[in-house]
């Protein structure tokens, strides 16, 4: 092993080691976000809409894992480069890089909503310790090439040690990223909640309301398969015993509620299909669940909304916010402070213990997870998280439809083939779905029975296919007569439009 790679490995090993140590100190102390988490979240908060969408397109819901790996790779690359750039093999440059990285991570930690000094000082301390270690290693005679020529054995052993340290450090850092981003099993399951029976249960799904076709999205999306989109690099863990909801702003009296208060209320249950504004036409950032919760209206009425208010800004424990028009929270739809999803408490990834769900609006303007407060305010006075990042302040869901079967350039046999999918126009409802082949005339599809206008509706079309290459397309019509537009628009700033199509080969 050359002295050159030894120096590079020393840079890598010390950077990874300091990082892993800082992670461990902050994590074990429970004082706030670790440095990788803080940098990741600060980065996410500064991500422009096009980059956010690109990340979701490239990595889907694994975007957080990709970001974590990316941060570690960049840090490792800088550390190695700093080591390699050393002429004198003194490692002073590498030490400077470690200090700079530590200062960046410390600044990120300080600015996180759940961060602060207690989580910041270990990052700085570990960075400084790492830098000192590098200077010490660099001034040891082992890294002096002339000395090395005459002491080959010692050099080999020392470098072996350094590389072992480097590999160990990278393994620890990688392992903590996997654990932190929730890609390994969480250490503790959330406490089960004593869920009351709803005073008004969700509609029963009739036999014809849920089609069972291989490849077709089921009417109810199982919790484990429900898409997850949020800015939280690490899933917030909220203690149900100390959780409170604060309702304030343009109200006659502030309302504060504990989880026990909330669970003691008259809760209702409703089917609502949630979907993300970043969902591409034909995408899978959409799911349907049975939610149990308290109508938001109930707490707003209790607080007494003042004249002039037109928006409720819901905030989460981790600094996210959503601007929801007051009107949709006060009308008779099932806008809920939800505590359960498909019969169990919310999974941590979906907002445990309490989140908002509003039929008819994209998640970014309504569906705040890990809810902490509702501020009654005005669109003219306040802006929400994504509004500050180039997305529209209002986000009603656009009518859309998707082909689930057949998917991918599968080879079909000539003759009758099942074409099936889902269509949605939350709080309006789907009146019709049509399919066309190779740009020909629109043909009506059969709809599953309507369970609720707030959810998606499955559809099926029996297609008599002729041999050859074909393109299938779908469009939906709402109960209000609106026909899904062919006009193509991207997801920014308020949701994608256009028709979903799939290409198939028929033998
Ligand atoms: N606290 C918090 N709540 C949030 C978000 C977030 O980033 N943080 N993202 C919103 C967005 S953009 C969507 S689409 C939905 C997704 O909810 P899900 O992950 O349960 O599917 O949550 C919303 N609630
Ligand atoms: Mo979203």
Residue 187 lies in a domain: no
| 85, pLDDT greater than 80 | no
Whether residues 459 and 488 share a domain: the answer is yes
Number of domains in the chain: 3
* Cα dihedral across residues 101, 187, 320, 228: positive or negative: positive
Question: Which whole number is the average pLDDT over 224-242?
Answer: 93
Q: How many CB atoms lie within 10 A of CB 389?
A: 18
pLDDT score, position 123:
85
Pairing relationship of beta strands 244-249 and 371-377 according to DSSP bridges: parallel
CA gyration radius, the chain: 27
The tokens 């890294």 sit on which residue? 143
Mutation test residue for ligand 1: of 222, 363, 493, the one with most atoms within 8 Å of CB: 363
Give residue 340's domain range. Answer: 207-389
Whether residues 380 and 405 share a domain: the answer is no
Whether residues 21 and 163 share a domain: the answer is yes
In the DSSP assignment, the letter for residue 229 is -
Whether residues 59 and 96 share a domain: the answer is yes
Whether residues 383 and 467 share a domain: the answer is no
Residue whose CA is at the smallest distance from ligand 1 atom 10: 364
Final residue of a structural domain among 180, 199, 233: 180
Task: Tell me which H or E stretch contains 23.
Answer: helix 3-29
Residue 317 CA: which ligand 1 atom is closest? 1
Residue whose CA is at the smallest distance from ligand 1 atom 19: 228
CA–CA dist 284, 403 (Å, integer): 11
Whether residues 215 and 259 share a domain: the answer is yes
Neighbouring residues of the ion ligand 2, judged by CB less than 5 Å? 229, 276, 363-364
Task: List strand residue ranges (DSSP E) for 369-429, in order.
Answer: 371-377, 400-405, 411-412, 415-424
Whether residues 124 and 37 share a domain: the answer is yes
Residue 201 lies in a domain: no
Evaluate: CB of 364 within 6 angstroms of ligand 1: yes
Whether residues 242 and 342 share a domain: the answer is yes
The answer to whether the CB of 452 falls within 8 A of the CB of 203 is yes
The tokens 């706030």 sit on which residue? 32
- Ligand nearest to C-alpha 367: 1
Residue 280: pLDDT band (50, 70, 90) is: very high
Residue whose CA is at the smallest distance from ligand 1 atom 6: 230
CA–CA dist 36, 16 (Å, integer): 11
pLDDT score, position 141:
61
- pLDDT 10s digits, 90-143: 778 778 888 888 888 888 888 777 777 777 888 888 888 888 887 777 776 655
Residue 202 lies in a domain: no
273: domain CATH number is 3.90.420.10
446: domain CATH number is 2.60.40.650
- Ligand nearest to C-alpha 277: 2
Whether residues 319 and 373 share a domain: the answer is yes
Residue 394 lies in a domain: no
pLDDT score, position 52:
82
Evaluate: CB of 363 within 6 angstroms of ligand 1: yes
pLDDT score, position 234:
87
Cis amide prior to 137 (ω within 30 degrees): no
The answer to whether the CB of 251 falls within 8 A of the CB of 376 is yes
- pLDDT 10s digits, 314-336: 999 999 999 999 999 999 999 99
Task: Supply 422's token pair.
Answer: 């889902």
Which of these, 294, 293, 271, 269, lies nearest to 205 by C-alpha position? 271
């Amino acid at each position: 092993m050359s002295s050159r790679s030894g120096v590079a490995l020393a840079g890598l090993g010390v950077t990874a080691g300091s990082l892993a140590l800082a992670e461990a100190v902050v994590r074990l102390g429970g004082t706030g976000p670790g440095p990788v988490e803080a940098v990741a979240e600060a980065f996410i908060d500064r991500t422009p809409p096009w980059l956010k969408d690109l990340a979701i397109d490239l990595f889907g819901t694994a975007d957080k894992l990709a970001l974590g790996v990316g941060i570690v790779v960049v840090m490792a690359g800088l550390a190695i480069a700093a080591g390699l750039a050393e002429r004198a093999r003194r490692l002073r440059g590498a030490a400077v890089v470690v200090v700079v990285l530590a200062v960046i991570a410390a600044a990120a930690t300080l600015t996180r909503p759940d961060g602060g000094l207690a989580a910041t000082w270990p990052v700085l301390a570990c960075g400084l310790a790492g830098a000192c270690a590098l200077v010490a290693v660099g001034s040891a005679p082992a890294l002096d090439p002339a000395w090395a020529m005459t002491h080959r054995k010692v050099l080999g052993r020392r470098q072996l040690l350094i590389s072992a340290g480097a590999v160990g450090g990278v393994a620890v850092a990688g392992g903590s990223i996997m654990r932190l981003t929730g890609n390994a099993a969480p250490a503790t399951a959330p406490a089960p909640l004593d869920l009351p029976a709803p005073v008004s249960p969700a509609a029963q799904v009739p036999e014809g309301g849920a089609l069972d076709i291989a490849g077709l999205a089921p009417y109810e999306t199982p919790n484990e398969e429900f898409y997850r989109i949020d800015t939280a690099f690490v899933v917030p863990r909220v203690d149900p015993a100390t959780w409170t909801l604060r309702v304030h702003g343009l109200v006659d009296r502030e309302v504060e509620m504990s989880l026990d208060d909330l669970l003691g209320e008259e809760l209702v249950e409703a089917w609502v299909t949630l979907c993300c504004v970043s969902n591409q036409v034909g995408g899978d950032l959409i799911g349907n669940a049975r939610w149990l919760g308290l109508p938001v209206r109930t707490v707003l009425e209790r607080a007494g909304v003042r004249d002039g208010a037109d928006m409720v800004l819901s905030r989460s424990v981790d600094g996210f916010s959503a601007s929801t028009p007051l009107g949709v929270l006060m009308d008779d739809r099932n806008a809920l402070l939800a505590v359960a999803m498909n019969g169990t408490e919310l999974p941590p990834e979906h907002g445990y213990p309490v989140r908002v769900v509003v039929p008819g609006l994209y998640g970014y303007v309504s569906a705040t997870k890990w809810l902490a407060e509702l501020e009654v305010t005005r669109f003219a006075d306040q802006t929400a998280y994504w509004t500050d990042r180039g997305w529209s302040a209002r986000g009603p869901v656009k009518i859309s439809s998707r082909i689930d079967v057949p998917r991918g350039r599968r080879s079909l046999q000539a003759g009758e083939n099942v074409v099936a999918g889902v269509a949605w126009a939350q709080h309006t409802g789907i009146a019709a779905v049509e399919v066309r082949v190779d740009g020909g005339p629109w043909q009506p599809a059969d709809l599953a029975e309507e369970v609720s206008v707030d959810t998606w509706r499955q559809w099926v079309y029996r297609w008599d296919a002729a041999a050859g290459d074909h393109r299938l397309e779908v469009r939906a019509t709402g109960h209000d007569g609106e026909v899904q537009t062919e006009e193509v628009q991207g997801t920014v700033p308020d949701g994608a439009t256009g028709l979903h199509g799939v290409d198939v080969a028929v033998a």
